[in-house]
Amino acid sequence: MTFHIPDLGVFDENSGLKSLDYCSDGNYKVGENGVDGIYATGDGKVEFICWKNHTLAYVLSALGYPAYYPVKPVKPEGPIKAVLMDLDGTSVRSESFWIWIIEQTTASLLGDPEFKLSKEDEPFVSGHSVSEHLQYCIDKYCPGESLERARDFYFEHTHREMEEIMAGRGKEGAFTPSEGLREFLYELKAMNVKIGLVTSGLYEKAWPEILSAFRTLDMGRPEDFYDCAITAGYPLRKGGTGTLGELSPKPHPWLYAEAATVGLGIPESDRNHVVGIEDSGAGAASIRLAGFPTIGYAGGNINASGTRALCSAYCESFSDVLATIKKINESKDL
């Protein structure tokens, strides 16, 4: 049995998408007001409300600020002018480290140093904002705790561990460049393709990661290499000011849209000449809702989160990604 989501594609029961009778906010019901179908990603983070000729995506929020976005049709077209790349899990293998920090934070909230997250928690504690990760853990493991207290513990653990890592100590294997990253980046440069780095991570945690990776790869400073880098900004703390980042990260489209449009100067009309590379379900949704073709990257939670249907292609390695880009440039269907 197959079903059609306008401007997204035709899918079957193996797509990872789930059929719903109602949108979770109650505003739409199948069979009413022209709604032909409603489908959710496997992790339930994004719902697609389908009419005959168009689709709306409803992005849920653990913090109470969901949003609707139009789904734009995409078709990768050559020449590819820009590649937008995720950081955690795609460029740098670090997801296990940040999940461990979330685990340590939850353990502190519970006063239980032996606390461990379960495997089923992984799609909800990676790929989104810090506050969304923490709110998920609060709701599941310590109802009644405040997000503010959780954030205090989170940054306490983060600052300690980042200082240790930057001093050459800290958790072993925290930040490891993905295999083939160096060769892939230099190949894109040789092809005159612009490169944007995009992460839902806050600047203070994201920048040491890519600095560490570039040192390992002997590639100089990342700001001299990337054409733009967009992070989730700076955290709001007592007595200071923060930047927008906790309510607008992946799977919302804004980080990727800003990287391409503002950071790289690529107009919306050229969006099919841009591809985004992501290993997380939240990231794949973010790229797709920003209106760019999405290349899923193995090793993350795209399959577990039921978002592979959002990807134009799915690759096991950077050599596969490069081959996919070259195939697009040759105007061959994926």
Residues 237-271 have pLDDT tens digits of: 888 899 998 899 999 999 999 999 999 999 999 99
- 188 and 286 in a single domain? The answer is yes
- 290 and 210 in a single domain? The answer is yes
Listed residue (260, 193, 208) closest to 229, CA to CA: 260
- 88 and 61 in a single domain? The answer is no
- 252 and 133 in a single domain? The answer is no
Query: Domain containing 232: what range?
Result: 82-93+176-329
Q: Which of 118, 138, 166 is the last residue of a domain?
A: 166
pTM of the model: 0.88
Q: Does 56 map to a domain?
A: yes
184: CATH: 3.40.50.1000
- 14 and 41 in a single domain? The answer is yes
Q: Does 125 map to a domain?
A: yes
Domain count, the chain: 3
Residues 99-111 have pLDDT tens digits of: 999 999 999 999 9
Q: Does 325 map to a domain?
A: yes
Q: Which of 132, 166, 200 is the last residue of a domain?
A: 166
- 34 and 156 in a single domain? The answer is no
- 99 and 89 in a single domain? The answer is no
Q: Does 171 map to a domain?
A: no
Q: What is the pLDDT along the chain (334 residues), one digit of tens a residue?
A: 899 999 999 999 899 999 999 999 999 999 999 999 999 999 999 999 999 999 999 999 988 999 999 999 999 999 999 999 999 999 999 888 999 999 999 999 999 999 999 999 988 898 788 899 999 999 999 999 999 999 999 999 998 988 887 777 777 778 899 999 999 999 999 999 999 999 998 898 888 889 889 988 999 999 999 999 999 999 888 888 999 988 999 999 999 999 999 999 999 999 999 999 999 999 999 999 999 999 999 999 999 999 999 999 999 999 999 999 999 999 877 7
- 186 and 268 in a single domain? The answer is yes
